[in-house]
Structure 1
Amino acid sequence: MSPPVHGDELPAARLRALLGPRHPVAGVAVVSPRGTTLTVQGAGPDADFEIGSVSKGVTGLLYADALARGEVAPDTTLGELLPLGDAPAARVTLRSLSTHRSGLPRLPASAQPWRRTLALWRHGTNPYGEDLASLLHQARGVPVGRPRPRYSNLGFALLGHALARAATTPYAQLVEHRLATPLGLDCFYAPGTPARLRPGALPGRSRGGRPRQPWTGEGVGPAGGIRASLTGMARLTAALLDGSAPGVGALDPVAPFGAGARIGAAWITVEIDGRPVTWHNGGTGGFRSWLGLDRSTGTGVVVLSATAASVDRPGFALLAEYSDDSHDSSDSSDSSDSERGGR
């Protein structure tokens, strides 16, 4: 039996064709000049998914917003905001954290990431349950390497908590007060413990269909702990495209990041078929996510799945498809205006 589908039938069929049977609980939002389309199968449009490292993109927005508010500066160090003592991490700047150039490792060795990964594979357990005090304890013992592009979950976790400290509020409330409430994102939050999950929060599954614990944890929130509905992600995408989202300057690339890519505050920009695409993806033990923007055509796509199999390829494919539609529609409109003497 096919899972229940919410949305227009044509996009729903497209969703099934792109994602296949490995993603029985998934959704796509397309935002374009023509409007917004939501298509969900196996859940409702307001069911909340883990968005994984797309949370880093959210933290990037909060960083750019804090700069605009004058709460922090690019050269503000972690030690000015967080109780890190004389640890090497205390000298790391917020600017370097925002572009993954801090020299911090992906994860602290003291967190025993390999043991946690093994427990995730075998038992589906959450590897990121630390509270903020535990995260800071780990950070005090971390060496800082050469400032080169190096993706760091630890770095973005510390960046988010530093921004929260500058605003004198916990990170979860920073997300709520500066993004979720102003943009009307009814389901968009960072649960610090399983007890703080919304009723009916979606369970995640591995690529093989095995159940996975929810990835909640105060410490990991800014790097990968946000949950959101497809409706909320669509509204965020629309606000990023029209420039009304706080901290939208985070999207603008400021430094190279790997072959052919550039990075802003977390957000990565690559050129595809002659057009820049700004994007971020995410993955947890039981979920995958992707958000991409073609700002030149005012088009954005969100893909969320409650299965830990990549949705990057469908995301890029859908964005290219709908961007081409928007571009063709714009060209047609421009031609009509010219024929009418409108230009």
Structure 2
Amino acid sequence: MTAETHGDRQLAVRLGELLGPRHPVAAAAVVTPEGTHVASRGTDADADADFDFEIGSVSKAVTGLLYADALTRGEITTDTRLGELLPLGDAPVARVTLRALSTHRSGLPRLPKSAQPWRRTITLWRNGTNPYGETLAQLLLQTRDVPLGTPRSRYSNLGYELLGHALARAATTTYSELVQQRIATPLELDCFYVPVTADELRPTALHGRSRRGRPRQPWTGEGLGPAGGIRASITSMARFTAAILDGSAPGTAALDPVAPVGGGARIGAAWITVQVKGRPITWHNGGTGGFRSWLGLDRNTGTGAVLLSATAASVDRQGFALLAEHSLSTGNSDSNSNSNSNSNSNSNSNRR
């Protein structure tokens, strides 16, 4: 049975070709200087409903924008330390600078050991439960005993959780409100939010599934928000992407690479830049227990692409291909559309 599609017909067909039956519920957006196209498949018979997906670690890219914006506002400096904004006492992590957090060079692990990540991962595999439900207070308690490693490139969910909450404290608000005030409201993103509990999910919230089609609980939690807790519809993601490309989004300096992250890639504030067929592509991906996401930009041609899926199977390769098709067309190039990335993808089964 063919999944019902909505939106731009040509893009809907391409979405089906790229993702196939493995991703029965998915959506795509393409933004070019000529306009924006959006399509979805398998969501619902109601074509007017704009369903929301978990965007996972693309939330870090949002936090990166908020970091760069806070620098512009003078609320922080690159050398501001976590202990100046969060109640961490004399814990080692209090010495970490926001700049180090923004480029994943803080010396912090992916998650604190006290959070028992392997036990949570096993529980996720077996029962589909949400492994990240901490409040901010619980997150800070787990963080106080975390030792600092060598400040080298090391992807850290914990680091971005702390960065986002520190930015919120600098703005005297919460992270969920910060996203609303500085991203969602000014950019008119109707469905772009940070649910702290499952009770805060909107009626349009999709339910994710594992690679084998097993249901997964939604990933919500106050602590999680800045690193992987944002939900968004494809329409809002399209507007978000367009705003980044035209410079109307806050903090777009976050996209500018400032440090190497391996494999020839470079990082700004969360955003990764790689060379694909001689073109610099700026991107981030995301994954939760039941969702995968990808957002990529060819800033030279003003082109962007987004893929969202309610199945926990990677859409990275397909995202790069979709972006290449449209950026090459925009740039009047005859390259093929099967570009992939030498990427710094956070390919962990419990990633976000």
TM-score by length of 2: 0.92
1:80-112: per-residue Cα shift (whole Å, max 9, x none)?
000000000000000000000000000000000
Distance 1:219 1:8 in 2: 37
- The aligned counterpart of 1:338 is none
**Between Structure 1 and Structure 2, how many residues are aligned?**
329
Distance 2:51 2:11 in 1: 19
Q: Does 1:172 align with 2:144?
A: no
Matched ranges for 1:53-72 at <5 A: 53-72=57-76
Matched AA of 1:138 = Q
Name the SS for the 2:297 alignment partner. strand
Q: Does 1:260 align with 2:273?
A: no
Distance 2:158 2:118 in 1: 15
Q: Does 1:33 align with 2:37?
A: no
Matched AA of 1:267 = W
The runs of 5 or more residues in structure 1 that have no matched partner are 330-343
Name the SS for the 2:266 alignment partner. strand
Q: Does the aligned pair in 1 maintain the 2:31–2:241 contact within 8 Å?
A: yes
Matched ranges for 1:148-297 at <5 A: 148-297=152-301
Q: Does 1:320 align with 2:333?
A: no
TM-score by length of 1: 0.95
Q: Does 1:2 align with 2:2?
A: yes
Alignment match of 2:142 (pick from 114, 129, 138):
138
Alignment match of 1:300 (pick from 281, 293, 304):
304
Distance 1:52 1:152 in 2: 14
1:131-152: per-residue Cα shift (whole Å, max 9, x none)?
0000000010100100000000
The runs of 5 or more residues in structure 2 that have no matched partner are 334-352
Q: Does the aligned pair in 1 maintain the 2:55–2:308 contact within 8 Å?
A: yes
Shifted more, 2-11 versus 126-135: the winner is 2-11
Distance 1:234 1:258 in 2: 29
Bigger CA radius of gyration: 1
Q: CA deviation at 1:8?
A: 2.5
4+ runs of 1 displaced by more than 6 Å?
none
Distance 2:319 2:169 in 1: 35
Percent identity reads 75
Measured on the aligned residues, the alpha-carbon RMSD in Å equals 0.9
- The aligned counterpart of 2:349 is none
Distance 1:159 1:189 in 2: 18
Shifted more, 37-46 versus 240-249: the winner is 37-46
- The aligned counterpart of 2:347 is none
Matched AA of 1:145 = G
